[in-house]
Amino acid sequence: MSESNLKDMSELVSLCKRRGFIFQSSEVYGGLQSCWDYGPLGIELKNNVKNSWWKAMTYREDVVGIDASIFMHPTVWKASGHVDGFNDPMIDCKNCKERYREDQIDTAKPCQKCGEKDSFTEARDFNLMFKTRMGPVEDSSSDVYLRPETAQGIFVNFLNVQSTMRKKLPFGISQIGKAFRNEITPGNFIFRTREFEQMEMQYFVKPGTQKEAMEEWKEIRWKWHLDNGLRSDMLRWEPHGPDDLAHYADAAIDIEYKFPHGWGEIEGIHSRTDFDLTQHQQFSGKKLEYVDQADNNKRYIPYVVETSVGCDRSLLAILCDAYRIENEGDKEKERVVLKFHPKLAPIKVAVLPLVKKEVLDAPARKLFSDLQQDYKAEYDVSGSIGKRYRRQDEIGTPFCITYDFDSLEDDSVTIRSRDTMAQERIAIDQVKNYLLNKLKF
Ligand code: GAP
């Protein structure tokens, strides 16, 4: 069986729309640039990605989770350096007004949109934070920002968490939540958007041990992507040189995925030193030191190793990686299949009565109701069985169960595997056990 990968993002955008994964935001109004809505299957997939991360990143003795608010005291962003330093260099074409990020284009060449030569303005710093107002009073003291990273909610809660959970270094705090950046050039579907979700963990360590911690977390994070089913040859490490380090980092490395538009970052692992906690201590006037009982009650500000993965970007990599066309060009045998790792598949099992007949409907529905107690399941009775299998392949359902006329006699059903298309006959009272074995992770 020949198999090809996704060649163009537009194929995936179309499948995601057709099958209820991802829709353009406000579509009936013509859409809103770079904003996307997750549909019924998309949200299942997204929740499964989040669960996979949450389990890997908090079901450990040394890591706990939080959920901080999106709005934070405005001084947080002064302290963190985002007000002054979270900028991209922006240039405009004087002729057609197209806007570019200076570091993403060759300014010696003509404008990509209108073809005008020497038409670019000087580069200006453009701050990526969205500003809004809190409360009914329109004065500058009520200005607040939508957070551009979730990390700061963790830093300002460092001592709350450490003291209430009685944590000793090294320990980590994990969080999943929305972040907002007024990107100059969003695009490539959900790769770069202005509203997205991050899954971040700050690991607080004794100064001097950060290199070791970074190595450990690099290994854990690489493995997480593989455990989600991504193929290792579609992933690579991309270290940051001294010139592309963020203002808070002394070392950083990205995990990149080979998207149809090229290699792109899905996760960053950063050694953030004691920058953030030191800044918050200074700006808030509150001590944020750790008292190290294992080292003569020495007081110091911990160093931090951060792992930061975009939920939407990771999900996009999972979709791209799962997308396969089998027997391309062969009218009879061609099929598009999303070969998700079963733990991520939005629907785990579909129950399909062979034909639309009342005599099959009642017992098939009973089986469906039973399975639904444990799994996200679908019941589908419309169209030929072949078409229904193809639809389940396209949404990545690992197992389809067909209830036919023989089932009425032998109390058995046919289970079809998405990946091999092999079919097995199984007693109905064994179906739950069968799925339990195949879907345990
Ligand atoms: N706290 C560190 C931090 O925010 P980052 O490298 O700027 O680091 C981390 O972002 C991850 O967040 C990226 O690897 C990416 O997956 C995701 N991300 C960043 N900007 C994004 C955007 N505009 N759209 C979607 N995901 C984004």
Cβ of residue 307 lying under 6 Å from some atom of ligand 1 = no
- In this prediction, residues 179-184 reach a mean pLDDT of 96
What pTM does this model have?
0.95
Q: Which residues contact 2 (CB under 8 A, 6 or more apart)?
A: 326, 327, 328
Q: How confident is the model at residue 31 (pLDDT cuts 50, 70, 90)?
A: very high
Could you read off the pLDDT of 38-47 as tens digits, one per residue? 999 999 999 9
How would residue 353 be classed by pLDDT, with cut points 50, 70 and 90? Answer: very high
159 and 35, same domain (yes or no): yes
264 shares a domain with 392: no
Q: Sign (positive/negative) of CA torsion 372, 375, 380, 381? A: negative
* Residue 87 confidence class, pLDDT cut points 50, 70, 90: confident
Question: What is the number of the ligand 1 atom nearest to the C-alpha of 183?
Answer: 23
Same domain, yes or no, for 200 and 54? yes
pLDDT of residue 104: 85
Any atom of ligand 1 within 6 Å of the Cβ of 197 = no
Report the share of the chain in percent with pLDDT over 70.
Answer: 100
Q: Which of 122, 77, 143, 44 is nearest to 347 (CA)?
A: 44
Same domain (yes/no): 42, 170? yes
The total of structural domains in the chain comes to: 2
Residue of 150, 196, 230, 257 to test ligand 1 pocket, by largest number of atoms within 8 Å of CB: 196
pLDDT at 2: 86
Q: What is the pLDDT of residue 142?
A: 84
Say yes or no: 363 and 288 in one domain.
Answer: no
Q: What is the reported pLDDT for 384?
A: 96
Provide Rg for the chain, Cα atoms: 25
Measured by CA distance, the residue closest to atom 2 of ligand 1 is: 308
pLDDT at 243 exceeding the cut of 90: no
CATH number for position 275 = 3.30.930.10
What does the alpha-carbon distance between residue 229 and residue 238 come to, in Å, rounded to a whole number? 20
pLDDT category at 342 given cuts 50, 70, 90 is very high
pLDDT in tens, 211-238: 999 999 999 999 999 999 999 999 999 9
**Residue 26 tokens, joined:** 């406000």
Residue nearest to atom 9 of ligand 1 (CA): 308
Query: How many angstroms separate the CA atoms of 284 and 356, rounded?
Result: 68
Say what the pLDDT of residue 103 is: 86
Closest C-alpha to 408, from 373, 368, 350, 357: 357
Q: What is the CATH number of the domain that holds 431?
A: 3.40.50.800
pLDDT of residue 72: 97
The pLDDT of 74-95, averaged and rounded, is 92
Rounded to an integer, the average pLDDT of 370-374 is 97
Q: Is the pLDDT of residue 159 over 80?
A: yes
Q: Residue 125: inside a domain, yes or no?
A: no
Same domain, 189 and 283: yes
Instruction: Out of 176, 197, 222, 265, give the residue to mutate to test ligand 1, the one with the largest number of ligand atoms within 8 Å of its CB.
Output: 265
Ligand 1 pocket member 265 (CB < 6 A): yes
285 pLDDT exceeds 80?
yes
Between 84-93, 263-272, 366-375, 396-405, the lowest mean confidence (pLDDT) is in 84-93
Of 86, 198, 236, 272, best ligand 1 pocket probe by most atoms within 8 Å of the beta carbon? 198
Minimum mean pLDDT among 70-84, 123-137, 344-358: which range? 123-137
Q: In this predicted structure, what is the pLDDT of residue 1?
A: 75
Indicate the top mutation candidate among 182, 247, 308, 318 to test ligand 1's pocket, ranked by most ligand atoms within 8 A of CB.
308
286 and 156 in a common domain: yes
Give the pLDDT band of residue 205 (cuts 50, 70, 90).
very high
When the pLDDT of each residue in the chain is averaged and rounded to a whole number, the result is: 96
- What pLDDT digit, counting tens, does each position of 117-134 carry? 999 998 888 899 999 999
pLDDT of residue 126: 87
68 inside domain: yes
Q: Burial code of 393-426, b = ≥16 C-beta within 10 A, e = fewer? A: bbbbbbbbbbbbeebeeeebbbbbebeeeeeeeb
Question: What is the model's pLDDT at position 441?
Answer: 75
- pLDDT higher for 375 or 247? 375
pLDDT at residue number 20: 98
What is the domain range of residue 29? Answer: 3-72+145-320
What is the DSSP code (8-state) at residue 192? B
How far apart, in whole angstroms, are the C-alpha atoms of residue 265 and residue 429? Answer: 46
Percent of the chain at pLDDT exceeding 90:
88
Residue 266 and residue 371 in one domain: no
For residue 89, name the pLDDT band (cuts at 50, 70, 90).
confident
Q: Does the residue 331 lie in any domain? A: no
Asked whether 147 lines ligand 1 (CB < 6 A), one says no
192 lines ligand 1 (CB under 6 A): yes
Same domain, yes or no: 245 and 364: no
Structure letter (DSSP) for residue 94: T
Asked whether residue 131 is domain-assigned, the answer is: no
Residues 178 and 242 reside in one and the same domain? yes
Q: What per-residue confidence (pLDDT) applies to 335?
A: 95
pLDDT at res. 244: 85
Mean pLDDT calculated for residue range 50-55: 98
Residues 164 and 240 in one domain: yes
Task: State residue 105's pLDDT score.
Answer: 87
Whether residue 133 is contained in a domain is answered as no
pLDDT band at 246 (very low <50, low <70, confident <90, very high): confident
Q: Are residues 378 and 283 in the same domain?
A: no
Q: How confident is the model at residue 172 (pLDDT cuts 50, 70, 90)?
A: very high
Note the pLDDT of residue 202.
Answer: 98
Could you tell me if residue 243 is inside a domain? yes
| pLDDT for the residue 410 | 97
Q: Are 295 and 302 in contact (CB under 8 A)?
A: no
Beta bridge partners of 37: 23
